Amino acid sequence: MSNTLDASALVAPLSSLANVEGIVSIPYFSGIFEQFESYLTADETWDLSSILKVCETYSANTPILEIGCGNGRVSMYLAENGFSVHGIDNSVDALNRFQNRLLAKSNISNKIKIINSDIITYTSQFKYELIILSNLTIHLFNDPNALKSLFVSVSGLLSDSGKFCFSIFEEASIERMSMYKGNTFCTPFTDYGGYKNLVWRALRFDDSDNTLALSCFVQNRVSESEILGYLSAHKNKFWKLKEIFSIIDEDSFSLVKTFRDYVEGGGANGLGTQTIVLEKVIRN
Ligand SMILES: C[S@@+](CC[C@H](N)C(=O)[O-])C[C@H]1O[C@@H](n2cnc3c(N)ncnc32)[C@H](O)[C@@H]1O
């Protein structure tokens, strides 16, 4: 087993693990890190009332598409409020978690359809009136090409005048990210198998381009010859709304409204966010 992440993708001090034999790199939303992410986020509620307000004007029978539905936190909440939801995610592990959580909710399982796909390549004959991308997930589309591709895909999945709702950190929150100039956190975490782990996370904010690089490591065993563990690296780009409009085709969406919320829990606890609703512009 060997690691495929190079040191430059990792935040110090975890960059010292780049070439350690036996440490395997995996995507953040998979394996042990998916369990950790679900443990951190599955019960978050801070954005749900704004999302429900956006949905209120839609018929309960018209499916809403949730991109990056993960463990089903938002999709299940909407189904519990009577809506029909299609949830899409490219992480099989996150969708398995979603399926398992649904087993305990037989009253809503017929309101939910789960789709395993990358949103960038997903197409559908059905056109949605509302698409949601919650929990600041848009920041994972961390370069202009990825962001542009996301909007092209969303536009292709929306009906004429369909709405796209997503959340971003507000500008004052981005300024406060400078507190993450190279912090390391160590969090005890019991996984779903009942095993106790320590998750090491290293964060580095770059204020020249408002990106936050995150690296994570979990050691799961030490053998005589190798340290066995998992490593992952990902990056958030904290887009401002005006940057988003400058990257997407400017005439393709118009701003409908924004809601203000505050993150509760996790490293971003207390930071302000905006839930943004855009409308697809009909072209003649
Ligand atoms: C921050 S989590 C949000 C999960 C859930 N919506 C919530 O609010 O708790 C982001 C999710 O987006 C998914 N994701 C990231 N990029 C994606 C892509 N290109 N296509 C589909 N899903 C994606 C990840 O697998 C992960 O489950």
For residue 263, what pLDDT is reported? 96
pLDDT of the residue at 221: 78
Residue 75 CA: nearest ligand 1 atom is 6
Does the beta carbon of 29 lie inside 6 Å of ligand 1? yes
> Residues 183, 231, 236, 279: what is their CA dihedral angle, to the nearest 10 degrees?
-140
**Average pLDDT taken over every residue of the chain:** 94
Of the ranges 86-90, 210-214, 215-219, 247-251, which one carries the lowest mean pLDDT score?
247-251
Specify if 1 maps to a domain: no
Instruction: Work out the pLDDT band at 179, boundaries 50, 70, 90.
Output: confident
The two beta strands, 85-89 and 196-206, are unpaired
260: Cα separation from own chain's centroid: 19
Peptide bond into 13 cis (omega under 30): yes
Residue type, position 205, single letter: F
Ligand 1: does its nearest atom lie under 6 Å from the Cβ of 89?
yes
Do residue 249 and residue 179 come from a single domain?
Answer: no
Does 126 share its domain with 200?
no
Ligand 1 neighbour 175 (Cβ under 6 A): no
Domain membership flag for residue 2: no
Decide: 73 in ligand 1 pocket, CB within 6 A: yes
- Mutating to test ligand 1, I would choose from 34, 89, 139 the residue with most ligand atoms within 8 A of its C-beta, which is 89
Which CATH number is 57's domain given? 3.40.50.150
If asked whether residues 48 and 164 sit together in one domain, one would say yes
In a domain, 224, yes or no: yes
If asked whether residues 23 and 50 sit together in one domain, one would say no
Tokens 């939303």: give the residue: 29
**63 & 163 share domain:** yes
Residue 35 is assigned to a structural domain of this protein: no
Asked whether residue 258 falls in the same domain as residue 218, the answer is no
Same domain, 245 and 141: yes
Please choose, from the candidates 152, 154, 150, the residue with its C-alpha nearest in 3D space to the C-alpha of residue 139: 150
Atom index in ligand 1 nearest the CA of residue 72 equals: 5
Q: What's the DSSP call for residue 210?
A: T
Q: Is 119 in the pocket of ligand 1 (CB under 6 A)?
A: yes
Contact between 80 and 73 under an 8 Å Cβ cutoff? The reply is no
Which residue minimizes the CA distance to atom 6 of ligand 1? Answer: 69
| Cβ of residue 137 lying under 6 Å from some atom of ligand 1 | yes
Give how many domains the chain has, as a whole number: 2
Residue 33 lies in a domain: no
| Confidence band of 239 (pLDDT split at 50, 70, 90) | very high
Residue pair 244/271 in contact (Cβ under 8 Å)? The answer is no
Give the residue ranges of DSSP H helices in 136-237: 144-157, 171-176
Closest CA to 72 of 91, 94, 105: 94
From 26, 71, 137, 237, give the residue whose CB has the most ligand 1 atoms within 8 Å, as the site to mutate.
137
Strand runs (DSSP E) across 150-245, as ranges? 158-169, 183-190, 196-206, 211-222, 227-237
- Same domain for 149 and 258, yes or no, is yes
Q: Is the pLDDT of residue 193 over 70?
A: yes
Domain that holds residue 266: 40-170+239-280
Residue 125 scores a pLDDT above 90: yes
Q: Is residue 247 part of a domain?
A: yes
CA of residue 3 to ligand 1 center, whole Å:
24
> Percentage helix, strand, coil, to 5, in the chain?
30, 35, 35
Q: How many CB atoms lie within 10 A of CB 223?
A: 8
Do 120 and 216 share a domain, yes or no?
no
CA–CA distance from 34 to each of 187, 190, 227, 230 (Å)? Answer: 15, 13, 21, 12
Q: Is 208 helix (H, G, I), strand (E, B) or coil?
A: coil
Same domain? 183 vs 271: no
CB of residue 91 inside a 6 A radius of ligand 1: yes
Residue 76 shares a structural domain with residue 144: yes
Which of the listed residues 29, 50, 148, 264 should we mutate to test ligand 1's pocket, taking the one with most ligand atoms within 8 A of CB? 29
Tokens describing residue 117: 């796909």
Same domain, 144 and 186: no
The pLDDT tens digits for 74-83 are 999 999 999 9
Using CA atoms, how far apart are residues 113 and 222, in angstroms rounded to an integer?
Answer: 41
282 DSSP 8-state letter: P
74 CB less than 6 Å from ligand 1?
Answer: yes
Question: Residue 1 — pLDDT band, cuts 50, 70, 90?
Answer: low
The answer to whether residue 185 is domain-embedded is: yes
- Ligand 1 contacts CB of residue 146 (under 6 A): no
Write down the pTM of the prediction.
Answer: 0.96
- 34 within a domain of the structure (yes/no): no
Atom of ligand 1 nearest to the CA of 42: 9
- Indicate the pLDDT class of residue 5, thresholds 50, 70 and 90: confident
